[in-house]
Every structure is written in C-alpha cells, then in structure tokens.
Amino acid sequence: MHGSAWRRIALAMLGLALFSAARTADAAARYVYPQGHGPYPLPPITRLVNDYTGVLTLKEATWLEKKLDRLERRNGTQIVLLIIPSTGGEPLFDYCQRAFRTWDLGHNGQGNGVLFVITLLDRQWWIATGSGIQGALPDAVVRRVMPETIDPLWTQAAVNEFDHAQVYKALEAGLDVLINRVQNERTSPPNYSIYDETPRAWYGLAILLAGMLAAYGLTRWFRKHPAPTRARAIAYVCVGSIIAVCVYYIALRTTLLENLMQARAGRSAKPAAIESLTLPVVDESHFHIQQLAEPGVFTVIHFASGTCPACRLLDDNLTDFLELRPDVAVKRIELGVTWSPVEAPLRARLNIHTVPFVLLFDPRAKTITTNNLPDPNTLDLLYDWMEAEQMRASGLRRREFNRGEQS
C-alpha cells in the first residue's frame, strides 16, 4: 500500500475510535460516579428500591417499591434493590456481602433479607441472600433461574443505552421471580422506624408537656427550698434552653420541602401540564425570570435541552408528579445546543452552565431556590419533593436500616 492509503486507514480508525469513545462518554454521563477512585461508598438507604443512577423514573421506582412493600407487610421478607453506577473496581460479590452485613437486611437478625444489586456502568448484577431465606431461595435457584429471566432483557436494555422502560421491565421480571419464591415464607413483621411512623406534631406536643412539667417541678422545688433570684433565673433559663434546642431539632426535621408538600386547594391557573415557553427577545431588557412564576401556586421553571438525557427523564418525572400535584405550575424553556443572541443574556444572568437547570418559586413568586443561591442542590430538592409525593400517594414510608460503618 502507498503511504497515503495507510494514512486514510489510520484516520478512519481514529475517527471510529473517537466516535465510540463519544458514545461511551454520553452513556456514562447519565450515571455520575461521585468519587471516581476506590470502592464505591455504601450509600444510605431508607427505601426498598434505591436508585442512585436515575435510570428509573420516580413512578417506576414507586411501582417496584409497592411490590416489595406488599411482600414485606405480608410475611416479613425484605427484598432491597440497589442500583449504583459501579463498584469502583471492587468485586461485585464482595461489595454485596459488605452491604448486606452493614445494613443488616431482614428483621431482628433473622436473616430473611435479599439484596439485589445492579451496577450499570459495569453491566453486572448480583443477589445476596440471608441465611433465613435460603430455604426458599437457595443459591442454585438464584444462579440458574435469575439469569434465564433477567439476562435477555438486561442485554436488550444495555444495547439501548439502558432505556429506563426496558430496565424497569428487566427488574420487574427479576423481582417477580424472587417474590414468587419467597412469598410463602413466614417471619417476623417489618421493623419500621418509630420516628417515621409517629406524626411530627406529637413530638411538639410531647416537648410542650415536658416543658410545662419541668417548669411546674422547678416552681414546687423553689417553694420548698428557697434560693436566690439569680439561681432561680439560671434554672429557668436552662430549662427553657433545653426546650428551645428540642424545638429547633424538630424544626430542622421539618424541612422546606415538607412545607411545599402541603396540599393546595385548587388552582386558578392552567390545567396540570408542562407548559413550553420561549425565551424573550433580546431587546426586552426589562424582563426578569420572576415574571414566569404564577402567583398563588408553586412554580417549577425547568431549562432543558432536547439532547440532554437527564432533561428527558426530568420531563417524565414532572409529568408523573403533576398527576399528584395539579396545583403546581411547571414551565419548560428549551435551550439550544449553541448560545444564540437570545439565550446568551439570560444564560449569563442566571449562570446557566449545564442543563437541566431548575428554579422553584413559592405562591408569592418569591424565589425558593435555584441551582446557584441560596441552595446549590435545587435539582436534588425537586427530586426529593417529587419522590416524597410519590411515596405519600402510594402509602409508603421511609424505613430505618442499620447504618453500620460507611466505607
């Protein structure tokens, strides 16, 4: 071959390699690995379905959660699904065993727990079972039946870069096999967190009663044992401080999101739907983003791009969310791939560097949070809000798992 022919072949191979790398990077960008080096940390879990990749919509995760919740309430068997990007180089078997021991899955040390771990970037899955459930779910069944059920569906989902609908179908089929195998087991009932089961108002009432009793007790004590005025003042201040600390703790647990989750009586705005908007023309210098907020309702403004997978997933989740909260206004603004003269001023004003970019406004059109200030985690807050609404509508509660040693 002539030198020019070799150069053409080399350039073609380089182009193919760059195209493959770009495709891989695009798929990997959907599932962020927070540390990048070393073993993936064991994340905190408060649910039976824990998706740390965003591959499932909130509604899909809730459907799977309800399946597992019904099983747990019926016979106490606890199946936990964990979806993570990668184990960070740690063998999946070791990671599963470490997670199973740390979280103490199952109830009261009975070992009637099952851990189903999926790693998307590694394209692997593994199932760890407790000693109390191995009679109904022996290793032979897990290693033979589950691959026959999951692998064909999982391969198809991987070919399509883990389309959430196909991933859901594969996970549902695998969980159905597990549920059918263990549904006749009989163990102790679930061990829910007392805090999660008790209305928060009861804690406030308990603190108020405790404070009243403490003040009454101090008054009786000082009547029998006279003390200087300063000592009495210090005692009352101490009691008041303790009560104030307790009230502050309760207030911390009552987050802004929980205030947002309060049901709203009807809305006079448009029916529940995602409203698509266009950016104002560049000469409208008087325009402010607050003008997009609808008065009287909570407003979610979502800057998105048609080429952004996370934006499409957020659209799906917001559509499901509006079925539960029709009193919330959602407005979507499409941003182009390149900065146009119309987009550039607004992007610069709002510091939009990546999409999706979200702003939340309260019914008075006051900014609650954006991706910049006062809270940089607006997207996480929005997802927490939507997830809490899904769980509340489904009658699901947060669970308390053993935190163990996070490593």
Q: What pLDDT is attached to residue 13?
A: 52
Give the distance between the most distant pair of CA atoms in the chain.
110
Q: What pLDDT is attached to residue 271?
A: 65
Q: What pLDDT is attached to residue 228?
A: 80
What pTM was estimated for this model as a whole? 0.69
Q: Are 146 and 127 in contact (CB under 8 A)?
A: yes
Helices (H) and strands (E) counted in the chain, each on its own, are 12, 9
Q: What pLDDT is attached to residue 315?
A: 92
d(CA 136, CA 391): 29
Q: What pLDDT is attached to residue 62?
A: 93
Q: What pLDDT is attached to residue 393?
A: 85
How many other β-carbons are positioned within 10 Å of the β-carbon of residue 299?
A: 22
Averaged over successive runs of 10 residues, the pLDDT of the chain (407 residues) comes to 51 45 36 48 87 89 92 87 88 90 76 87 85 81 79 73 80 89 70 44 68 78 78 79 69 56 60 81 69 86 86 91 89 83 79 84 79 62 85 83 60
Q: Are 331 and 269 in contact (CB under 8 A)?
A: no
| 17-65 confidence digits (pLDDT tens) | 443 443 333 333 333 434 344 567 888 888 899 998 888 899 999 999 9
Class of domain 274-393: alpha beta
Domain ranges of the chain: 49-182, 195-254, 274-393
Q: What pLDDT is attached to residue 19?
A: 39
- Look-up of token digits 């999926």: 118
d(CA 359, CA 294): 13
Topology of domain 49-182 in CATH is Diaminopimelate Epimerase; Chain A, domain 1 (3.10.310)
Q: What pLDDT is attached to residue 340?
A: 77
